[in-house]
Every structure is written in structure tokens, then in C-alpha cells.
Amino acid sequence: MTQVSAPSPVCVFGAEIILRHLTALEQEIEGVRLAEDIECIHRMRVATRRLRNALSLFADCFSQKKVAIGKIALRKLRVHSAKHEIQMFSW
């Protein structure tokens, strides 16, 4: 795939989508930390999956390095949230 050099309308749209999902993920962090509601973990996992998909879909709009770093960070976050979910159920 070719790298897009100018911010095309598609790339601007992609950045807005990624920001929206990143904001949704960020809003769930405190709820996951407090471990009071399993829905926080669910919403965080959904936001993580949507972010990963958006990064793949709009990958040509960003440097390959940034996309790879983002995917690795999301994978680590997903593993961490899964471990946290297991801890919640083991009480």
C-alpha cells in the first residue's frame, strides 16, 4: 500500500474516528481501575477493538511505525484488561 503524504479528507476523517474511539477508551480507565462495574471493562475492550480496526483501516494515513506502536499498545492494553476481568470474577 502507498503512503498518503497530504492530509486527504479520508485521513482527516480517519483521525477523527481514531480520536473518538481513543476518547471512549480513556473514559473507561478509572472504572476499570476501581473494578466496580464489569461494563467498564466491556466498553474498554470494545473501544480497543474499534481503535485497532480503525488503525488498520486508515493505516495509509499514518507512518507504519506509528501504526505498529499503536497496535502493540492496544494489544498490551487488551491483555491487561483481560487479566483484570479474571481478577474481578475470582473474588
Residue 1 placed within a domain: no
Residue 59 placed within a domain: yes
Residue 3 placed within a domain: no
Q: Using the predicted structure, report yes or no on whether residue 5 has a pLDDT greater than 70.
A: no
- Total of domains in the chain: 1
Residue 2 placed within a domain: no
Residue 23 placed within a domain: yes
Residue 4 placed within a domain: no
Residue 70 placed within a domain: yes
pLDDT in tens, 19-78: 999 999 999 888 888 877 888 888 888 998 899 899 999 999 888 998 888 888 888 876
Residue 28, CA distances (Å) to 11, 17, 40, 49, 82 in order: 26, 17, 6, 14, 14
pTM of the model: 0.71
| Domain span at 80 | 9-89
Q: How far apart are the first and last CA of the chain?
A: 48
